[in-house]
Copies of this chain bind each other. A is one copy, B any other.
Amino acid sequence: MNDPTEIRVPYEELVQTLNGILLKAGLDADRAHLSARLFADASRDGVYSHGVNRFPRFMRSLRNGIVNPQAKPQLVSRFGSLERWDGNLGPGNLNAHQCMQRAIELGREHGIGCVALANTNHWMRGGNYGWQAADAGVVGICWTNTMPNLPPWGASDPRLGNNPVIIAVPRKEGHVVLDMAMSQFSYGAIESYRLKGEMLPVPGGFTRAGELTQDPAEIERSQRALPIGYWKGSGLALMLDMIASILSGGRATHDIPPDPERETRLSQVFIAMDPSSMGSPAMIDQALDSIVAHLHASATSGGAVRYPGEQVLKTRRENLVGGVPVNIAIWKQLQEYSG
């Protein structure tokens, strides 16, 4: 990569830089370091849009009071292996990390465990919590609701969230981690196609006249992004919002301000299942390797079929060796926060 708008920063330097800024912003030492690592991990793994490049937006959310740097999640109620927590409007990545950690503990204790979290903030890269579960040796499923940003199938106004869901399966040779929103493309992705002067590879939304289109500029104008699978992703987004809000006792999408700078009080669900409670890790790995081998043997017209997360490991290795790409303007902004 020789993108003139980017600089490559060694991973540890990146973590230390963010850590220093977060300490100044009022986070406790252990929490500043963990939050810094979660931002850096997203960029290290190639999810630049939700990693360091998003850090200035996080700093604004501290300044405008959306995020309380000191607030920690609290247990509200417990029933067996299901718990309800309140995020108290603390940093979304720290809240999510702690709740996935608690779900992992519940999963190890009971086979399956679930934490529902209300009143939290944007968790940045959701995939982090999938990798966290898989690194702990458990199957992880988690999702968040979001502000309204997706029209239901058949409608022209955004009333659903794109509600990303993450599913992670631990595997010795490389975890399998799916991280997907219910919209076919994020507005960030749509914008970058437009800036490159390219069409989307498949239809990603509607024109203002209501026709499906691959033209990113048309979708930005209509604000009508497309749910995955048309009516199917629309239904799935609704279900995820319902379950997150009723289990957590928190807000549903329609009660979340439709403004990225004011989006808050999100509801999330974290589920962990311990496969080792049901079978030997060696047999489980063998079963997973066999599924992956079968997938890799797919007939294609060039290029290999990859499992979700396969590319992440490759990118991670490259970025740990060559430095983590950070937008130059963002990197300068980080120096200003530090100064």
**CB < 8 Å: which of B80, B157, B176 contacts A239?**
B176
CA distance A274 to B139 in the complex (A): 21
Copies in the complex: 2
Quick one: closest B residue to A291, CB to CB?
A: B252
Taking a contact as CB atoms under 8 Å apart, the answer to whether B238 and A308 are in contact is yes
CA distance A19 to B253 in the complex (A): 45
Q: A79-B277, A274-B79 are in contact. Are A236 and B299 (CB under 8 A)?
A: no
The answer to whether the Cβ of A275 comes within 8 Å of any Cβ in the partner chain is yes
Other A-B contacts than A238-B307, A245-B287, 5 sampled, CB-CB below 8 A, are A77-B278, A79-B110, A110-B110, A176-B239, A238-B295
The answer to whether the Cβ of A126 comes within 8 Å of any Cβ in the partner chain is no
CA distance A301 to B153 in the complex (A): 12
Taking a contact as CB atoms under 8 Å apart, the answer to whether A81 and B111 are in contact is yes
The answer to whether the Cβ of A84 comes within 8 Å of any Cβ in the partner chain is yes
Quick one: closest B residue to A238, CB to CB?
A: B307
Taking a contact as CB atoms under 8 Å apart, the answer to whether B80 and A300 are in contact is no
Taking a contact as CB atoms under 8 Å apart, the answer to whether A291 and B81 are in contact is no
The answer to whether the Cβ of A210 comes within 8 Å of any Cβ in the partner chain is yes
Chain B residue numbers with a CB within 8 Å of A300 are: 154-156
Q: A169-B243, A241-B291, A308-B238 are in contact. Are A299 and B180 (CB under 8 A)?
A: no
Q: A232-B180, A275-B247 are in contact. Are A298 and B154 (CB under 8 A)?
A: yes
Within 8 A of B (CB), among A231-249: 232-233, 235-236, 238-239, 241-243, 245-249
Stretch of A88-96, A112-120, A324-332 at the chain-chain interface: A112-120
Quick one: closest B residue to A248, CB to CB?
A: B278
Which among A184, A212, A228 has the highest number of chain B CB atoms within 10 Å? A228
The answer to whether the Cβ of A27 comes within 8 Å of any Cβ in the partner chain is no
Q: How far is the CB of A128 from chain B (nearest CB, A)?
A: 17
The answer to whether the Cβ of A305 comes within 8 Å of any Cβ in the partner chain is yes
**CB < 8 Å: which of B152, B203, B247, B298 contacts A155?**
B298
The answer to whether the Cβ of A109 comes within 8 Å of any Cβ in the partner chain is yes
Chain B residue numbers with a CB within 8 Å of A287 are: 245-246, 252
Taking a contact as CB atoms under 8 Å apart, the answer to whether A81 and B80 are in contact is yes
Chain B residue numbers with a CB within 8 Å of A7 are: none
Chain B residue numbers with a CB within 8 Å of A156 are: 298-301
Q: A229-B229, A239-B167 are in contact. Are A110 and B81 (CB under 8 A)?
A: yes
Taking a contact as CB atoms under 8 Å apart, the answer to whether B252 and A112 are in contact is no
**CB < 8 Å: which of B114, B254, B288, B305 contacts A152?**
B305
Chain B residue numbers with a CB within 8 Å of A80 are: 81, 109-112, 277
**CB < 8 Å: which of B238, B246, B275, B295 contacts A275?**
B246
CA distance A253 to B295 in the complex (A): 11
CA distance A247 to B189 in the complex (A): 35
Q: A169-B246, A246-B275 are in contact. Are A232 and B238 (CB under 8 A)?
A: no
The answer to whether the Cβ of A279 comes within 8 Å of any Cβ in the partner chain is yes
Taking a contact as CB atoms under 8 Å apart, the answer to whether B154 and A82 are in contact is no
Within 8 A of B (CB), among A279-307: 279, 283-284, 287-288, 290-291, 294-295, 297-301, 303, 305, 307
Taking a contact as CB atoms under 8 Å apart, the answer to whether B288 and A82 are in contact is no
Taking a contact as CB atoms under 8 Å apart, the answer to whether A298 and B116 are in contact is no
Quick one: closest B residue to A201, CB to CB?
A: B230
